Amino acid sequence: MRQRITVVGSINLDLVATAPRLPAAGETVTGATLARHPGGKGANQALAAEKLGAEVWLIGRVGDDAMAGEALALMEDFGVDLSGVEVDPAAPTGVALIAVDGTGENQIVVAAGANHMVTPEQLPQRIETALIVQLELPLETVEAAVGRATGFVCANLAPAAPVSEALLRRADLIVVNEGEAAFYGDALHHGGGWVVVTQGARGAEMYHRGVKVAWATPPVVTAVDAVGAGDAFVGAITVALLEGMEAQDALRFACAAGACAATRPGAQPSLPTRAEVEALIGA
């Protein structure tokens, strides 16, 4: 039976410039190529979970503009339920400006646009499926979504921002990278759920009540573009835990999903299928 997940999150169009290296402050780097891909953490995680076997409903907002169709196209193709996505008559579709170097490292600047217009009034009074949230929407809306959830809650606390103690305690799974983990400190471990700290190519660690219970390293791959790899990880570990995988297996599955995403350019175009992840683990 497919796991049902609601994602409350951001929807962007990514404008990706790939250059030989990333610029220093005040520097101009030439010789780049430009691509346009659907993105946004919410949309990425929704598509990631859908491609890994879940049944996903996305709640978000886009502008009444040509970019909206591009931003939603891949999710439509793969069957994500977009009935919760509203069109804002005034704000533009969110845009991420992304610079990527030859090793896959990136710098990102986001113009949130319609994402900042997602209010608690757009949410259902009860969210009875599993829930995934991130912090690219107004915090009031994220907090409201978590407060209305009756099932499993995954909180990807990115980008780092102050959140309530109630959210930290309610989350069954918190996912952060090393920088975000440093921002939140011990507060991450005040609840009774899992806390996962990702470490890029070095893998990830899982904690329960401050005690490390699992760790995994990703398969060795040739990284092309790390954009979307973290979102693939979030979607994968949520699906894995909902399916009842043990902590170690779930972490290994998620690391493989993130590694697979890093082998292709773009956020959503890089997200792997279940078969691709399982093949990479098997290899």
Cα separation, 114 vs 43, in Å, equals 13
Enumerate the H helices of the chain as residue ranges.
41-51, 66-78, 139-148, 165-170, 178-184, 229-242, 247-261, 274-282
| SS3 assignment for 76-120 | HHHCCEEEEEEEECCCCCEEEEEEECCCCCEEEEEECHHHHHCCH
Reduced to 3 states, what is the DSSP secondary structure of residue 29? coil
CA distance 38 to 44: 8
Whole-angstrom distance, CA of residue 279 vs CA of residue 12: 30
Helix, coil or strand: residue 225? coil
Q: Of these residues, 14, 88, 172, 231, which one is catalytic?
A: 231
3-class state of residue 134 by DSSP:
coil
- Which own/partner contact pairs does 201-205 have at CB distance under 8 Å and 24+ positions apart? 203/255, 204/233, 204/251, 204/254, 204/255
Query: Is residue 231 among the annotated active site residues?
Result: yes
C-alpha torsion angle, residues 177, 79, 51, 188 (rounded to 10): 20
**186: how many CB neighbours lie within 10 A of its CB?**
7
* 94-100 and 106-111 strand pairing: antiparallel
- Of the candidates 72, 65, 70, 17, the residue with the CA atom closest to the CA atom of residue 44: 72
- Please list the active-site residues: 231
